[in-house]
Amino acid sequence: MLYYAVVFLIIAIVAGILGFVGLAATAAWIAKVIFVIFLILALITFLRRA
């Protein structure tokens, strides 16, 4: 899941450089959402092991 967040972040950076502002904003938002989901799932996993 972290892989997909990084992929969308790279897409956002490249789209921003090329001037596709709408695509860059959408890709950055998706990357943020996926990263937050990853953090929540990682926290749940760590707490369940304790």
Four-residue CA torsion sign, 40, 11, 18, 20: negative
Residue 45 in tokens: 């996993």
Cβ distance 2 to 35 under 8 Å?
Answer: yes
Instruction: Report pLDDT for 37.
Output: 96
Tracing tokens 């789209």 back to the chain, one arrives at: 15
**Tens-digit pLDDT profile for residues 1-50:** 899 999 999 999 999 999 999 999 999 999 999 999 999 999 999 999 87
